[in-house]
Amino acid sequence: MLRPFEEPDVPFGPGHRGVDLLAGPGQPVLAAGPGRVVHAGVVAGRGVVSVQHHDDLRTTYEPVHPGIAAGAEVDAGQQIAEVAPDHAGCSAPPGAACLHWGARQGARYEDPLRLVTSGRVRLLPWTDAPGTGGPA
Comparing CA positions, the residue from 12, 24, 17, 11 lying closest to residue 58 is 17
CA separation for the pair 10, 123 (Å, rounded): 35
- Residue 24 phi/psi, 5-degree rounding, is -110, 145
Q: What is the pLDDT of residue 36?
A: 98
- Give residue-wise pLDDT tens across range 12-67: 788 789 999 999 999 999 999 999 999 999 999 999 999 999 989 999 999 999 99
C-beta of residue 49 within 8 angstroms of C-beta of residue 68: yes
End-to-end CA distance of the chain, in Å?
A: 37
Q: What is the pLDDT of residue 135?
A: 54
- Give residue-wise pLDDT tens across range 79-130: 999 999 977 778 888 889 999 999 999 989 999 998 887 656 556 665 655 5
CA separation for the pair 111, 91 (Å, rounded): 19
Q: Show the domains of the chain with their CATH numbers.
A: 19-110 (2.70.70.10)
Q: What is the pLDDT of residue 35?
A: 98
The DSSP line for 42-74 is EETTEEEEEEE-GGGEEEEEESEEE-S-TT-EE
Q: What is the pLDDT of residue 18?
A: 92
Give the pLDDT band of residue 6 (cuts 50, 70, 90).
Answer: confident
Helix (H, G, I), strand (E, B) or coil at 132: coil
Q: What is the pLDDT of residue 48?
A: 97
At 15, which amino acid appears?
G
